[in-house]
Amino acid sequence: MNGPHPHYRNPLAPWQGEALDLEVIKRQGWRNQRILVIRPDDRRLDVHEREIVKRIGERLYGRQGQDHG
């Protein structure tokens, strides 16, 4: 069979939602509910701010890879 490959139609496609814009969701979470979601390596922060975020996360939730119940 050397012809073009038929395009596969995903039968679940009609029920798949649109791709989420995570920055929009994070912005809305902050503006509406004062929930801050940020990665400690976010390049929009300077080195001191990234360290503060990392320390807060570790104090509240433990270090990465550590089970904290």
Does residue 25 belong to any structural domain of this protein?
A: yes
pLDDT, position 62: 96
**Domain-embedded: residue 29:** yes
Q: Do the domain assignments include residue 42?
A: yes
Q: How many domains does the chain have?
A: 1
d(CA 23, CA 1): 46
Length of the chain: 69
- Structural domain boundaries, residue 28: 21-61
Task: State the pTM of this model.
Answer: 0.63
Q: Are 68 and 62 in contact (CB under 8 A)?
A: yes
Contact 40, 53 (CB under 8 A): yes
Q: Answer yes or no: is 15 within a domain.
A: no
For 16-68, write each residue's pLDDT tens digit.
788 889 999 999 999 999 999 999 999 999 999 999 999 999 999 999 887 75
pLDDT at 16: 78
How far apart CA 21 and CA 15 sit, in angstroms, is 18
Alpha-carbon distances of 7 from 10, 11, 16, 25, 31, rounded to whole Å: 10, 12, 18, 33, 43
